[in-house]
Amino acid sequence: MQENENPLSSMTGVHRIEMGVNGRVQGVGYRSFVAGCAARTGVSGYVRNLPDGTVEIVAEGDAADLATFLDAVEAQDEPVISVEGITISLTEPTGEFTGFDARFGDRKEEIFKRSMLALDLMKEVLKTEENLLAEQKKTNKLLEEILKIRQQ
């Protein structure tokens, strides 16, 4: 998020933000990642998966801390998490939170979803490896031809 896109960057005081996050954000450790961002910035609230595949985040805290939190939850440098969009609503803080919770659903369902995603990611890795090996074989063949020409 660009600095000028962050609605909290120029605000002061205590605020509450409610966010909807879409992308590859379920089954990839995003809730734990967000909880870590909250711990580092000192905001309170919760994060949870929604049935539609998005993630809901509700956070309260000082505007500067929330601005830092908002930038962090984009997960820019995370290899598996892929945040494609975040919708943000600013509302009045309620003070109802004493910390930050990563809320989880049915354990068996969560494990199944993560297993399916892990399988999909492994397929991507294997496909990439196949492509790299094919390119390496082409490169080796070219090098062999160059060596033959040089030896003549």
Q: Do the Cβ atoms of 21 and 85 come closer than 8 Å?
A: yes
- CA neighbours within 13 Å on the CB side: how many for 38? 23
d(CA 16, CA 62): 9
Catalytic residue among 16, 22, 31, 114: 31
Residue 131 a catalytic site member: no
Catalytic residue among 49, 103, 107, 150: 49
Residue 31 a catalytic site member: yes
**Coil, helix or strand for 115?**
helix
d(CA 40, CA 43): 8
Strand partners for 83: 23
Which amino acids are annotated catalytic?
31, 49
